[in-house]
Amino acid sequence: MGRFLQFNKMPLLLLFTGVLLYSSFAYDLVREDFIKLVTLYAGLFFLSWKLVQLKKTDFWFLATAALLFRLIFIVSLPNLSQDFYRFIWDGRMLVAGWNPYLYLPEDLVATGTGPVEQASELYTGMGELNGSHYTNYPPLNQLIFALAGIFAGKSILGSVIIMRLVIIAADVGILYFGKKLLEHFKLPAYQIFWFVLNPLVIIELTGNLHFEGVMLFFLLASLYFLLKNRWILSGVLLALSVLLKLLPLIFLPLLFNFFRKKLNPSEKALGLGKMLLYYSVVALVIVVGFLPFLSMDTVSNFAASIGLWFQKFEFNASIYYVVRWIGFQVKGYNIIATAGKVLPLVFILLLLVLSFFRRNRSLQQLISTMLLAVIAYFLLATTVHPWYVLTPLLLSVFTRYKFALLWSFLVILSYYAYSNPAYEESYWLIAVEYLAVIGVFGYELFKEWREHRNTERSPAEV
């Protein structure tokens, strides 16, 4: 009887400990304190793993824990990211009837001509680097920022709360559709908690107000309705995902074999017709989303801002840092301008290979290919912020791959850069992160290949 009570008390003890650790993270942490950050994060990661292990059959207990941990952050200001100040700025611009894609915050602050309340405070908060570039957040993101501006008025904390509630609602949607997909694939439903209870998800989305979670909600809903043969609704949802973050655009070519190979040879034309309809719906919704902001200046400014991520910014990269080092040895200077153009071309080639030569007959195969595509994209990228890892993490839940779970733990090491005034990264820590992740990823690929080869051989051997 004593052992029974002890066993049942353990999840509650873990839950209480999680509340304390997340409270410390939300209200008593600065990102410069790297040791405390990593210690808290490691504790939370172990705690989440243990909760899922102990309560994997109690879906509602884990769901309640996930919601409780998120609500802890509700009245806190993000402490690991300054981006939310730009979100509030853009939202207030839009509410005032100004196109946020056409104006630089630094210009409006310098001239005092902008319509933004608390302009100086928001500009100081977002930082000179952010304030000197045009916004790169797509229209649906801007709409959420505007909602915060409408309902929170001049309150910065109020704006944060509104945006946070949207992000939490999206996480609930991910839990709903994720459970349904796992049940369809005959996988354990608790696997969705490797995402929903993951401290990286809770901290970077609810805590730091990054909108990858809302994007992933629309993406997951799109995949679910694709499974249900509701092509048009799936296309609309995929387009909404793109209107939050542009990343899902890389998944469009992967649908080619999914549409083509699902059908019988006699239905090939019908498959092509559905595929073209699907792409048309996605394109139409995206165009309609951008239409209210459309002008030549908007296109130019938005493209220039996006281009910075490929040819100017560097953070927590892997293959690119190796290429850059080789460039220094050969050229004697940083070759990001060249590498930022070549590496995307390498990715496009890999994407075409995955699109036309990998079997994507089932939705589960498609998700697996999407995971491979997005990991290739990030391994070749010049900038990989911790919250970027959330996309491969969610996709991995529906596959046999576990490397993204490891990555979600190790990526916190990249915050070392903020622990020193010069914002210098530790290449040793980056090496630890990527050698471990790529090592596990390579092993899982090899294991899959070996199992596939053995499966093909076995009939002949019999």
Which ranges of the chain have pLDDT less than 70? Answer: 1-8, 261-271, 455-462
Return the pLDDT at 312: 78
The predicted-structure confidence for 208-262, as pLDDT tens digits, reads as follows 999 999 999 999 999 999 989 898 999 999 999 999 999 999 999 999 888 876 5
Q: How far apart are CA 176 and CA 221, in angstroms?
A: 9
Asked if 320 contacts 382 with a C-beta cutoff of 8 angstroms, the reply is yes
Q: Which residue has the tokens 């806190």?
A: 76
Model's pTM, two decimal places? 0.93
Q: How far apart are CA 234 and CA 212, in angstroms?
A: 18
Q: Which residue has the tokens 């850059």?
A: 324
Residue type, 231: W
Q: How far apart are CA 187 and CA 408, in angstroms?
A: 21
Return the pLDDT at 328: 85
Q: Which residue has the tokens 């602050």?
A: 109
Q: Rg (Cα) of the chain, in Å, rounded?
A: 23
Return the pLDDT at 3: 46
Q: CA 340 → CA 171, 207, 355, distances in Å? A: 33, 31, 23
Return the pLDDT at 261: 62
Q: How far apart are CA 104 and CA 98, in angstroms?
A: 12
Greatest Cα pair distance, the chain, in angstroms, is: 81
Q: Is the dihedral of CA 83, 87, 93, 99 positive or negative?
A: positive
Beta bridge partners of 383: 315
Q: CA 398 → CA 180, 394, 402, distances in Å? A: 11, 8, 10
Q: Could you state, in order of their start, the residue ranges of all structural domains in the chain? A: 2-449
- Write phi, then psi, for 16 (nearest 5 degrees): -65, -40
